[in-house]
Structure 1
Amino acid sequence: MGMDTINNLPAHPLLVHGSVVLIPLTALLLVLCAAWPAMGHRISWLLPALAVVALVCVLLTTDSGEWLEERVPETALMEEHAEMGENLTPWAVGLLIGALLVWLVDLLRSSKAEPSGPGSSSGAVRVALSLPVRIAVSVIAVVLAAGSVVETYWIGDSGAKAVWENRVSPHSGD
């Protein structure tokens, strides 16, 4: 994608903040919208839009991390972090798919609510509004949210260790 530096500084440490904020925020909204349809309906456009922005941010962060990896001394911790960093993209894609699924169920629910004549509800709308489907969508949302947040934490923790382990004294002035 190609965002390697910002103001002549490596872009990765700056972009990572976007991923660290947007992935958990998207995950939280995904679970809330899946479990609380009234909220999901109010912000139906926001969830998929936020998921797209989070995915783009993850892709930029990963790309800039690969660029930076080639320019810093190779250590076992840095290598571990770089390998782990590649694991967030599938979770970000999963969040986007989950967001689109929640949005689609809300869209079908909204179309059911619009009067269009007696008995005109399609089979797809009835299935989307059924309790088992709503439960399944909620379970999928929770799994995707939990997985993406845990993965974000693990990657961030490994990055912090790669950069800061054995470089900061526990005492001031040392």
Structure 2
Amino acid sequence: MPDTIWGLPVHPLIVHLVVFLVPLTVLAALAVALWPKARRPGAPWVLGLATIALITIPMATDSGEHLEEQVPRSSLVEEHAELGDTLLPLVATLWVALAVIVAIGFHVRRKTERPPNWTKAVTLVAVVIAVGAAVVSGVQVVRIGHSGAKAVWSDVGKGQGD
């Protein structure tokens, strides 16, 4: 992947995909997890959205590591980089929970008789994990974005009339 596009660092460009896709995935995942009527038609779409979000996260962290090599070292940049490394496992957990929900939905749909009892229990566990992973992922993407904004903009305005 190139370090720049049209002379701009690629990291801020890719990060905006993550900042858009992860919260969208979080909201959609909460909808299909907490609203059973939306689960059957919506869960496969949400899993697709989560897949795209999941793919963009390593792209953002990789481009961030390249950018980190080109900017002066600071505690704010270090904090942002460390927080950025936490998002992939969180969204991956959400993806797995959504995949289980989708797989059980397809299994139940194929069966004409009453679904086995285990499907309710496994679905409940997957829903609880999906809700937890969605909430934590949503909070974490905000924390990561805030730390990145602080790293970039903390010096702006200093020394001007202070």
> Structure 2 length as normaliser, TM-score?
0.89
Please tell me whether the aligned partners of residues 25 and 50 of structure 2 are also in contact (alpha carbons under 8 angstroms). yes
Instruction: Please list the CA deviations of residues 7-49 of structure 1 after superposition, one character each: whole Å capped at 9, or x if unmatched.
Output: 2211111111111111111111112112222212112321121
Are 2:136 and 1:137 aligned?
Answer: no
| TM-superposition CA deviations, 1:134-158 (whole Å, max 9, x none) | 3322211110001101111111111
Instruction: Please state how far the C-alpha of 1:64 moved relative to its aligned partner.
Output: 0.4
In the alignment, structure 1 residue 160 sits paired with structure 2 residue 138: no
Q: Distance in 1 between matches of 2:43 and 2:131?
A: 18
CA RMSD of aligned residues (A): 2.1
Q: Which has the larger radius of gyration?
A: 1
The counterpart of 2:118, out of the listed 127, 136, 145, is: 127
1:61-116 deviation line (CA, Å, top 9, x unaligned): 1110000000011111111111111111111211211220121121122123xx3x
Residue identity in the other structure for 1:127: W
What are the within-5 Å matches in structure 2 for residues 69-80 of structure 1? Answer: 69-80=68-79
Question: Which residue does 2:22 correspond to in 1?
Answer: 23
Q: Percent identity?
A: 39
Match runs of 1:35-74 below 5 Å: 35-74=34-73
Q: Match for 2:147: what amino acid?
A: S
Of Structure 1 and Structure 2, the greater helix share is in 2
Alpha-carbon separation, structure 1, partners of 2:110 and 2:92: 27
CA distance in 2, matches of 1:16, 1:64: 9
TM-score w.r.t. length of structure 1? 0.83
- Which structure 2 residue ranges, 5 or more long, are not aligned? none
Q: Indicate if the aligned counterparts of 2:15 and 2:60 stay in contact, CA closer than 8 A.
A: yes
Evaluate the alpha carbon distance shift between residue 99 and residue 92 of structure 1 in structure 2; reply closer, same or farther with a 3 A threshold.
same
In the alignment, the residues of structure 2 paired with residue 12 and residue 70 of structure 1 have an alpha-carbon distance, to the nearest angstrom, of 12
Q: Is the 8 A contact 2:98 2:126 kept in 1?
A: no
CA distance in structure 1 between the aligned counterparts of 2:50 and 2:16, rounded to whole angstroms: 16
Q: Residues 91 and 134 of structure 2 are in contact (CA less than 8 Å); yes or no, is this contact kept in structure 1?
A: no
SS in 1 for 2:71: coil
Aligned residues: 161
Query: Is the contact between residue 37 and residue 106 of structure 1 (CA under 8 Å) also seen in structure 2?
Result: no
